[in-house]
Amino acid sequence: MNNYKLIIQYDGTEYCGWQIQNNAPTVQQVITDKIEVITGRKVNLIGSGRTDSGVHALGQAASFKIEDEIDIYKFKYSLNAVLPFDISILEMNKIDEEFNARFSAKRRSYVYLFSNFKSPFYQKYSYYYHEALDCDYLNKICKTFLGKKNFTSFARKNTETVNKVCNVYDARWKATNGLKIFYIEADRFLHGMVRTIAGTLLRASKERADGKYIEDILSAQDRESAGEAVPAKGLFLYKVKY
């Protein structure tokens, strides 16, 4: 069986997330349908993880197996030709049969964009937040998230995931060209986790809270203790590491 890995970019504005759902447009469904049209075979396209409705991707990874040997150059060109303009296949490679885009992933990273001025070009892809954000201050309290911790307080209440422990390797902010960028990297993320962490940091910034503020929220293991999640439109799945 031949196994192929894709690196995908997409604008999630018009989709109800990555994962296939009944009666809702999803990125996984669109790509799967186009692969099946080109190959004439049913495939199981496996993504590195879910992205929520409205969330974008700069480097989503996915894999699928098929009996036929594929001419990668021609196939990638054909697939991009039939996909809508808001989905693009950046890379395609043949990989070991044991590889699984979800279970082989070691780390995943996201970026969230905040704009501090009104712009027609940033409107769809960032959260317009007019209050001042101090990156040095935010980087100090972000250190509280690092390590292996229970993130129940930062997950949606109705999440089906039983294990709420995630290992966060990096969490930091930087300013560039009128944007504030929040970057976070972990072994895994819970449903709504990144957007809730970002929203909680905004609330902490308003109150000039210290690291203990975050520690108390983590210890509470209660979603009500954390801040409001920021909008989906500013969030991008940045990279998946294997």
Summarised one tens digit per residue, pLDDT across range 103-150 is 999 999 999 999 988 889 899 999 999 899 999 999 999 999 999 999
Q: Which of 11, 52, 134, 170 is catalytic?
A: 52
- pLDDT of the residue at 215: 96
For residue 195, give the nearest of 54, 101, 86 by alpha carbon: 54
So what's the pLDDT on residue 178?
A: 86
Q: Which residue segment(s) compose the domain that 60 sits in?
A: 2-95
What are the tokens at 6?
A: 């894709």
**Do 44 and 67 contact (CB within 8 A), yes or no?**
no
Q: Quick check: is 154 in a domain?
A: yes
| pLDDT at position 160 over 80 | no
Model pLDDT, residue 161: 79
**Which residue, among 187, 197, 143, has the nearest Cα to 167 in the 3D structure?**
187
pLDDT per residue as tens digits for the range 69-98: 999 999 999 999 999 999 999 999 999 999
**CATH number of residue 40's parent domain:** 3.30.70.580
Residue 210 known to be catalytic: no
Q: What is the pLDDT of residue 162?
A: 84
The total number of residues shown for the chain amounts to 242
**In this structure, are 66 and 111 located in the same domain?**
no
Residue identified by tokens 């990279």 is 239
Same domain for 119 and 163?
yes
- Residues whose CB is less than 8 angstroms from the CB of residue 134 and which lie 6 or more positions away in sequence, other chains included: 205
Average pLDDT over residues 158-162: 76
The whole-angstrom separation of Cα 136 and Cα 18 is 34
State the pTM of this model. Answer: 0.94
* CATH at 237: 3.30.70.660
Domain count across the chain: 2
Beta bridge partners of 237: 57, 110
Cβ atoms of 79 and 156 within 8 Å: the answer is no
pLDDT at residue 12 above 90? yes
Tell whether 20 and 118 lie within a shared domain.
no
Please check whether residue 101 lies inside any domain of the structure: no
DSSP per position, 4-52? EEEEEEE-GGGSS-SS-BTTB--HHHHHHHHHHHHHSS----EESS---
